[in-house]
Amino acid sequence: MSVECGYAAGFVPFPDYEQVCRGDTGHAEVVRVVWDAEQWMLENVLEVFFQIHDPTTIDRQGQDVGSQYRSLIVVDNADQLERVRAVLEDQQKYWGQPIVTSVVEGVPFYPAEAEHQDYFRRHPEQGYCRVVIAPKVAHMRQDYASLWQN
């Protein structure tokens, strides 16, 4: 499995972090996940997605506010779109408020700058990493140990 942070679903080609943070590109901050389909199904990856963020807040994740923080899933094809919609419908029973996650098909992914890649691993002492991210990573490593065995 590999992950790469970046930007998607906006209208400015090749945006940079500052542009996205200003909110004038239409892009969301996203993570591209590539996994072995023999080991994990799309539905398994989406299960993790729904455990690590709040899909019920519009343009917000925790204290971060703005359209770049919207809940978004980008799919590559109609089959994935159908499967994601089924998972969204199933997930709704676990949330007290409506899920507002957007699903878009076939939009370009723009990798974030190098300093934003692998940020948690390189800055574990940073306050947000220590207080917010570390507990999520620990929980996911326990629940999804097979992801980290390879």
Higher model confidence: residue 145 or residue 16? 16
pLDDT digits (tens, 9 = 90+) for 28-38: 999 999 998 88
The CB-based long-range contact list for 61-69 (8 Å cut-off, 24+ gap) reads 62/132, 66/21, 66/23, 67/23, 67/26, 67/28, 68/7, 68/20, 68/21, 68/23, 68/25, 68/27, 68/28, 68/29, 69/28, 69/29
Higher model confidence: residue 147 or residue 20? 20
- The strand pairing partners of 8, in sequence order, are 28, 109
- The yes-or-no verdict on residue 82 having pLDDT over 60 is yes
pLDDT digits (tens, 9 = 90+) for 46-71: 998 998 889 999 999 888 899 999 99
Q: Which CATH superfamily hosts domain 2-117?
A: Peptide methionine sulphoxide reductase MsrA (3.30.1060.10)
Domain extents in the chain? 2-117, 122-150
Q: How confident is the model at residue 150, as a pLDDT? A: 47
pLDDT digits (tens, 9 = 90+) for 87-104: 999 999 999 999 999 999
Q: What number is the average pLDDT over the span 126-133?
A: 90
Report yes or no on whether pTM surpasses 0.85. yes
